[in-house]
């Protein structure tokens, strides 16, 4: 069972009841005797296109040691299942096989290049830091954009900036800034280039480690990962 990490006194101070905590953690989705969560399926990311969304080495690293990524989903979080290297690798290659995008979305290879004005484009013109943190600036209400280059494939990052409503719930405050035209593509490519380069060294380290893991687990198949997942 996942240990209760939030002291009862803190739950009282925040107005969070025990039932609310159990609901947001999704305990009843695995354990009998507890009602299933009404929010965990909404809070958990859609994995239908995980192979197009996540950098493979990052996904492996996350499965080995889950960290809080989204600040806007309350206490919902992925538990640390203490996966062995081969289990995490099996799950990774299974999830990387999931490539079903939302209807009518197509990802394309593009050129991404930022310049000295890109941070101002993100921070001032589009005010992304009103919700997101970036380079220690902004508000930590959602996802830290400083980690986007490590976590996300640039093609998917481009598309969610272009058409967020295809990927996030309707109730999400993330606005649609862009039309699908040449000027928009150029600005988004600039933003993606900035985020990609910002965390590039971290991704390089993850890729180097993942390459070793892949060699050491060459007999692992995605079918093995599917059995763990299901």
pLDDT digits (tens, 9 = 90+) for 159-180: 999 999 999 876 677 889 999 9
Average pLDDT over residues 29-55: 79
Q: What pLDDT does 146 receive?
A: 94
Average pLDDT over residues 58-84: 81
Which tokens hold the place of 116?
């000295």
**How far apart are the C-alpha atoms of 145 and 185, rounded to whole Å?**
19
Average pLDDT over residues 95-99: 98
Q: How confident is the model at residue 79 (pLDDT cuts 50, 70, 90)?
A: confident
pTM of the model: 0.84
> φ and ψ at 223, to 5 degrees?
-65, -35
Q: What pLDDT does 82 receive?
A: 95
**How far apart are the C-alpha atoms of 35 and 26, rounded to whole Å?**
9
Q: What pLDDT does 15 receive?
A: 56
Q: How confident is the model at residue 3 (pLDDT cuts 50, 70, 90)?
A: very low
**How far apart are the C-alpha atoms of 207 and 210, rounded to whole Å?**
5
- Reported for 117-124, long-range contacts at CB under 8 A and 24+ positions apart, including other chains, are 118/190, 118/191, 118/193, 118/194, 119/194, 121/187, 121/190, 121/191, 122/191, 122/194
Q: Is pLDDT above 60 for 4?
A: no
Q: What pLDDT does 174 receive?
A: 85
Structural domain 118-203, CATH architecture: Orthogonal Bundle (1.10)
Helices (H) and strands (E) in the chain, counts: 12, 2
Average pLDDT over residues 62-72: 82
Least confident of 3-7, 28-32, 127-131: 3-7
Q: Is pLDDT above 60 for 143?
A: yes
Give the mean pLDDT of the chain. Answer: 86
Average pLDDT over residues 176-188: 95
Q: For 190-209, write each residue's pLDDT tens digit.
A: 999 999 999 999 999 999 99
- Reported for 109-112, long-range contacts at CB under 8 A and 24+ positions apart, including other chains, are 109/155, 110/154, 110/155, 110/158, 110/185, 110/189, 110/192, 111/189, 112/154, 112/158, 112/189, 112/190, 112/192, 112/193, 112/196
Q: How confident is the model at residue 18 (pLDDT cuts 50, 70, 90)?
A: low
**How many of the other CB atoms lie within 10 Å of CB of 60?**
24
Domain ranges of the chain: 1-43, 118-203
Which tokens hold the place of 20?
């609310």
């Amino acid at each position: 069972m996942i240990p209760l990490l939030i002291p009862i006194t803190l739950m009282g101070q925040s107005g969070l009841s025990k039932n609310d905590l159990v609901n947001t953690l999704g305990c009843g989705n695995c354990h009998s005797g507890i009602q299933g969560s009404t929010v965990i399926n909404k809070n958990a990311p859609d994995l239908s296109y995980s192979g197009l969304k996540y950098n493979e080495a990052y996904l492996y690293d996350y499965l080995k040691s889950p960290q809080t990524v989204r600040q806007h989903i309350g206490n919902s979080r992925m538990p640390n299942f203490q996966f062995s290297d081969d289990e995490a690798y099996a799950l990774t290659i299974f999830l990387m096989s999931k490539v079903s995008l939302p209807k009518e979305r197509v990802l394309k290879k593009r050129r991404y290049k930022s310049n000295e004005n890109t941070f101002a484009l993100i921070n001032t013109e589009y005010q992304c830091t009103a919700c997101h943190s970036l380079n220690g600036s902004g508000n930590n209400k959602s996802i830290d954009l400083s980690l986007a280059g490590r976590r996300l494939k640039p093609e998917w990052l481009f598309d969610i900036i272009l058409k967020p409503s295809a990927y996030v719930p309707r109730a999400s405050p993330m606005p649609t800034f862009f039309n699908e035209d040449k000027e928009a593509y150029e600005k988004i490519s600039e933003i993606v280039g900035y985020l990609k380069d910002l965390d590039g060294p971290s991704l390089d380290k993850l890729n180097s480690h993942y390459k070793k893991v892949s060699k050491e687990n060459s007999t692992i198949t995605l079918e093995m990962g599917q059995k763990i997942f299901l």
